[in-house]
Structure 1
Amino acid sequence: MAQTVGRNVAAPLLFLNLLMYAIALGFASWCTNRYINGQTNHPSLGGNGATGLFLTFAILASVVGIVSKLAGGTHVRAWRSDSLAAAGSASLIAWAITALAFGLACKEINVGGHRGWRLRVVEAFIIILTFTQFLYVLLLHAGMFSSKYGPGYRDRDYGIGAGTGEPIHKGGAVPVAGTRV
Structure 2
Amino acid sequence: MASGATKSLAFILLILNLVLYGIVTFIAGWAVNYGIERSAEIASALTFPAHIFPIYYPIGNMATSFFVIFALIAGLVGVATSISGISNILHWNVPNLLSAATYSITTWSLTILAMGLACKEINLGFRDSNLRTLEVLTIILSATQLLCMGAIHIGVTDVINQHRH
Same fold, TM-score > 0.5, yes or no: yes
| 1:153 positional shift | 5.5
Q: Which stretch shifts more, 31-40 or 119-128?
A: 31-40
Please, which runs of 5 or more residues in structure 2 have no aligned partner? 43-57
Corresponding residue to 1:59 among 60, 66, 72: 72
2:92 matched to which residue of 1?
79
Tell whether 2:114 aligns with 1:106: no
Q: CA RMSD in A?
A: 2.3
Write out aligned runs for 1:20-39 (5 A).
20-38=20-38
Paired residues of 1:81 and 1:155 also in contact (CA < 8 A): no
Please, which runs of 5 or more residues in structure 1 have no aligned partner? 158-181
TM-score by length of 1: 0.76
Identity of aligned residues (%): 37
CA deviation profile, 1:21-74 (whole Å, cap 9, x unmatched): 000100111011111222699xxx710000000000000000111111122111
Give 1:155's aligned amino acid: H
Give 1:85's aligned amino acid: L
TM-score by length of 2: 0.82
1:121 matched to which residue of 2?
133
1:141 matched to which residue of 2?
153
Paired residues of 2:97 and 2:156 also in contact (CA < 8 A): no
Which structure has more RCO (C-alpha within 8 Å, separation ≥ 6)? 2
1:131 matched to which residue of 2?
143
Normalized per residue, the structure richer in helix is: 2
1:168 matched to which residue of 2?
none
Paired residues of 2:101 and 2:153 also in contact (CA < 8 A): yes
| 1:154 positional shift | 5.9
